[in-house]
Amino acid sequence: MRSSVSSARSVTVTAPPLVAGTPLVRARPLPSDVVDRPVASALPTRLRPADLLRLTDEGAEDVLAGRYDHLLPAGGAWPTANRWATRLQSDDEVDVWLISWVPDKSTELHDHAGSLGALTVLGGALSEFRWNGRELRQRTLSAGDQASFPLGWVHDVVRAPDQLAGPGGPQDPTLSVHAYSPPLTAMSYYEITGHGSLRRTRTVLTDQPEGDVK
């Protein structure tokens, strides 16, 4: 390395003569492929939706295998009045949660601020109402289904009607595992205006999945 420094010192560079009025740095147009290429580093996390889907899938497997039994309600007494959640995993990059859902307790229409998200349904079913830019589109996510939420995803989630519950009927908990990266720190809530657009009504600081459990 030392020799290369020595060699570099020996190189004589003859600069072209400056011409009055000539800019020292010329602005050159970028190639179109550079301009149009998505800039991955602009995202707030190195994890991608596929990574989050995998994490929720693994979390769901671990819950079903009993590896998180120590975090679950004693005796399998799932709360019936309110949503319930427990954090399965947490680090600087991602939070993974298990949520149980109860009837008629929706999340309200919200986003996940600067976090990407994903979920896997373990049991029962969820109804999701997603804003597509013009209206809400509903879909049902049943046991085994997955979904990911890019930045800007605005949705309302609620336990699906009990006829979609598990084999034990309405008594079966509706469970889903969610991952957020970076870990959730805020959510904004929205209402639909009479003009077919969204109005943001409030933003709250929270690390609770899908809004404060209540």
Interface residues toward Fe ion, by CB under 5 A: 210
3-state secondary structure of 52: helix
From start to end of the chain, where are the E strands?
84-90, 95-101, 116-123, 125-131, 136-142, 146-149, 155-159, 174-181, 186-192, 198-205
Query: Which neighbouring-strand residues pair with 187?
Result: 204
CB of 149 to Fe ion, least distance (A): 6
Provide the H-helix boundaries in 12-90: 32-36, 49-64
CB of 140 to Fe ion, least distance (A): 16
* Cα gap 100→102, rounded to integer Å: 7
CB of 180 to Fe ion, least distance (A): 9
* Cα gap 211→214, rounded to integer Å: 9
Whose Cβ is closer to Fe ion: residue 153's or residue 170's? 153
Question: Contact, 110 vs 155, CB < 8 A?
Answer: yes
CB of 110 to Fe ion, least distance (A): 6
Whose Cβ is closer to Fe ion: residue 72's or residue 147's? 147
Whose Cβ is closer to Fe ion: residue 37's or residue 214's? 214
Whose Cβ is closer to Fe ion: residue 95's or residue 210's? 210
CB of 162 to Fe ion, least distance (A): 22
Instruction: Give the CB-nearest residue to Fe ion.
Output: 210
Whose Cβ is closer to Fe ion: residue 60's or residue 119's? 119
